[in-house]
Amino acid sequence: MSEERIEISKNVLIDCLGLQAGESLVVVADDSRQHLAESLYEAGKRLGAESMLMVMQERSKSGEEPPASIATAMMNASVAICVTRYSLTHTAARKQAAAAGTRVATMPGITEDMFTHGAITAEYAKVKELTEHVTSLLTKASTVRIEKEGYSLSFSIEEREGVPSTGLYLNPGESGNLPSGEAYIAPMEGTAQGQIVIDGSIAGIGALDSPLLLNISEGRLVAAEGDTGAELLLMLGDGDGRMLGEFGIGTNDKARITGIVLEDEKVYGTIHVAFGSNNTFGGTVAAGVHIDAVVQKPDVYLDDVLIMRAGELLA
């Protein structure tokens, strides 16, 4: 276990989660990420927290629930941090822990490299400011239109609230990803219509060598053209996993496209759409799967006003 990683872990626990001596910390890991989780566990102990490390078998996909005993431990902790291959962000376990007042950070797919470089090194006060600004734009808007390479996808976000993932979870019940930096929202189910080019990465597939063209009709993914199209459809299944569940905008200027969506979707200059569950952040889809897909340098319109040109957010 490297001292450097323990020091970084201490910074994350103090700066991003406000962990204090005497508080309880639960570090949730799966077999694949236990070595990274141990650094956080060790850091928690050194900071004087009542620290626990819980290791489970790897889930089969993002959005799948952890065992009930882990969900209960998360609800009873001051701080919970989830270091897993597949994401626990859009699970009932995460939602219930936050509702119980736990400060929760999820680190799906985090790698050794991501633990020490890139998005994790951002100036999070600055990320928070931009993220909250973009979140308010989303909350105020009724429609979204994404344009790239002659293709256009539009949908309604009327009466839905934007959600900030600032990287700072300092108050009871605050939760989100680490590393972070995105504003996201649940599109109104059934309203999405059009096509979108995915050219960054896809959760569970990685960085894309060639782009994917997605066809969406009445809020549902009906076709995926390109090398990894069949793989994406297989992961989503034939049910509600194919519903458009999320639209997000990256706000972290230190984030890089790495092939791990946890960092990729935070990259400033990108947007992402996700299919599957959104019932944990204001939508109605509960699919047991949530797959993000990242788009580089698009044009984005909110209520027909251009807010992003080729990835650059306009003042």
What does the pLDDT read at residue 116?
Answer: 87
Residue identified by tokens 């009906």 is: 222
What does the pLDDT read at residue 103?
Answer: 98
- The pLDDT tens digits of the residues spanning 69-120 come to 999 999 999 999 999 999 999 899 999 999 999 999 999 999 999 988 999 9
**What are phi and psi for residue 127, nearest 5 degrees?**
-60, -45
Domain spans in the chain, listed from the N-terminal domain onward: 3-116, 122-313
Query: For the chain, first and last CA: distance in Å?
Result: 44
Residue identified by tokens 């799966």 is: 30
Query: Could you give the dihedral angle defined by the CA atoms of residues 300, 309, 178 and 220, in that order, rounded to the nearest 10 degrees?
Result: 30
**What are phi and psi for residue 52, nearest 5 degrees?**
-135, 140
The first and second tokens of residue 34, run together, are 């236990």
Q: How far apart (Å, rounded) are the C-alpha atoms in residues 234 and 236?
A: 5
What does the pLDDT read at residue 276?
Answer: 96
Instruction: Place 244 in a pLDDT band, splitting at 50, 70 and 90.
Output: very high
| Segment 53-75 mean pLDDT | 96
Tell me how long the chain is: 315
Residue 267 has pLDDT above 80, yes or no: yes
- The pLDDT tens digits of the residues spanning 108-144 come to 999 999 988 999 989 898 999 999 999 999 999 999 9
Residues in Cβ contact with 72 at an 8 Å cutoff, skipping those fewer than 6 apart: none
Handedness of CA 285, 219, 297, 125 (dihedral sign): negative
**What are phi and psi for residue 88, nearest 5 degrees?**
-100, 5
Strands 163-165 and 193-198: unpaired
**What are phi and psi for residue 169, nearest 5 degrees?**
-125, 80
What does the pLDDT read at residue 159?
Answer: 95
Percentage of the chain lying above the pLDDT 90 cut:
94
Residue 188 has pLDDT above 80, yes or no: yes
3-116 fold = Thermophilic metalloprotease-like (3.40.1830)
The first and second tokens of residue 303, run together, are 């209520």
Kindly state the greatest CA–CA separation across the chain.
56
Residue 315 has pLDDT above 90, yes or no: no
Q: Is the CB of residue 103 less than 8 Å from the CB of residue 172?
A: yes
Residue 213 has pLDDT above 80, yes or no: yes
Instruction: Place 1 in a pLDDT band, splitting at 50, 70 and 90.
Output: confident
